[in-house]
Amino acid sequence: MKIGRISVYKVDLPLHEGAYRWSGGNEVRVFDSTVAAIATDTGVTGYGEVCPLGPAYLPAYAEGARAGMAQIAPALIGQDPTQVGSINYRMDRALKGHPYAKSALDMACWDILGKLAGVPLTTLLGGRFGEDFPLYRAISQQSPSEMAEMVAKYRDEGYSKFQLKVGGAPREDVSRIEECRKCLESHEVLVADANTGWSQHQALWVADAIRSIDVYLEQPCQTYEECLTVRRHTDKPFILDEIMDGVPSISRGISDHAMDIVNLKISRVGGITRAREIRDYCVRSGIALTIEDTWGGDIVTAAVAALAHSTPAEMLFSTTDFNSYVTRSIARNAPARRKGRMSAPVGEGLGVTPLADALGRPVLTFE
């Protein structure tokens, strides 16, 4: 089997709530998502998706994903897509760094592998654990009262885990945390995610101010050293996200007891191949995971669901249903939430079928 053609599509994904806001005054209103289709000489086509959270979240942006694919794709034509290790090696040779630009291509290869094997991606990634798994709901940064209203709204829809976007003015962030915690029962989970938005002294002040509140702290500062300092001065459960980009950083974090949970985003590490390696390393090391991506539609949601559903339940802290945040569907049979929980598709590969009308015409084609 050989790769005969790679097509790249640009898809806009507007948000139901109009805008998504996080630390630093950042905001996205329409997500620019990129879908890659890898067609083989046997007629099997695999699909992948990557959707950076705007240009100011990570060193990644939508146009960069497509520019990176233009550099990588010619090196993959004629190769066997089922040899995912070899594919990743070739991508790294064609373009150093820029893992987000490789993620959708790697994902499409896994989709092909599952289709050829006649099994869902969960089977290839380790097997299905349970019937479904819990979701969290991200609460966009607004005033404390508005965020509390959104927590109450989504709690009524069945969610029991909530990730607040903080990382703003510390006193207002403390109010956000206090007001939202009041909406929840003791068994329900609240995470205060600063997305690197606090300086070290601000994070230490917030951690002290919320010492009596039942809440997790996520990625308070920009650097590992700053986060480690905060970690050593609080007894709150601690999640690291943006600075956890591979096995070496996670190994260091485990050695330093820097976190209790790792937020693993598929595109940040370059695709399913490396995300699986990191997931398995964390599970063996006793570190729980939030499994997700930077953003995306139905295809990303299917990939996230497959990796999450093939993770032992006690090691899966949470995940989210990105396709429920956006107004556009781009594939049939995509996973959907039910009372704050979700399950991975049972179809072959990713288990979803992209909608041709939603994808439109390719913006790039390589043969």
Query: For the segment 115-170, what is each residue's pLDDT rounded down to a tens digit?
Result: 999 999 999 999 999 999 999 999 999 999 999 999 999 999 999 999 999 999 99
Task: Note the pLDDT of residue 50.
Answer: 98
Closest CA to 335 of 318, 352, 313: 352
Q: Which residue's entry shows tokens 């879908």?
A: 35
Task: Determine the average pLDDT of the residues in 314-338.
Answer: 96
Question: How far is the C-alpha of 341 from the C-alpha of 87, rounded, in Å?
Answer: 34
Task: Note the pLDDT of residue 68.
Answer: 98
Beta bridge partners of 136: 161
Question: How far is the C-alpha of 82 from the C-alpha of 105, rounded, in Å?
Answer: 12
3-118+354-366 under CATH 3.90.1200.10, yes or no:
no
Task: Note the pLDDT of residue 249.
Answer: 97
Task: Note the pLDDT of residue 13.
Answer: 98
264 touches 282 (CB < 8 A): yes
Task: Note the pLDDT of residue 147.
Answer: 98
Query: What pTM value is reported for the model?
Result: 0.96
Residue 150: count of CB within 10 angstroms of its CB: 19
Task: Determine the average pLDDT of the residues in 331-357.
Answer: 96
**Confidence band, pLDDT 50/70/90 cuts, at residue 325:** very high
* CATH node for 123-352: 3.20.20.120
Which residue among the candidates 10, 102, 115, 265 is catalytic per the annotation? 265
Task: Note the pLDDT of residue 334.
Answer: 97
153 is catalytic: no
One-letter amino acid at 44 equals V
What is the tens place of the pLDDT at every residue in 63-119? Answer: 999 999 999 999 999 999 999 999 999 999 999 999 999 999 999 999 999 999 999
Task: Note the pLDDT of residue 96.
Answer: 97
Domain-wise residue ranges, the chain: 3-118+354-366, 123-352
How far lies 262's CA from each of 96, 219, 248, 279, 283, in Å?
Answer: 25, 10, 13, 9, 11
Task: Determine the average pLDDT of the residues in 284-292.
Answer: 98
**Confidence band, pLDDT 50/70/90 cuts, at residue 60:** very high
Beta 331-332 vs 353-354: how paired, if at all?
A: antiparallel
Which residue among the candidates 102, 165, 236, 339 is catalytic per the annotation? 165
96 is catalytic: no
Percent of the chain with pLDDT strictly greater than 70: 100
Task: Note the pLDDT of residue 49.
Answer: 98
Hey, what are 342's tokens? 């979700």
Q: What is the mean pLDDT of the chain?
A: 97
Task: Note the pLDDT of residue 225.
Answer: 98
Task: Determine the average pLDDT of the residues in 327-352.
Answer: 96
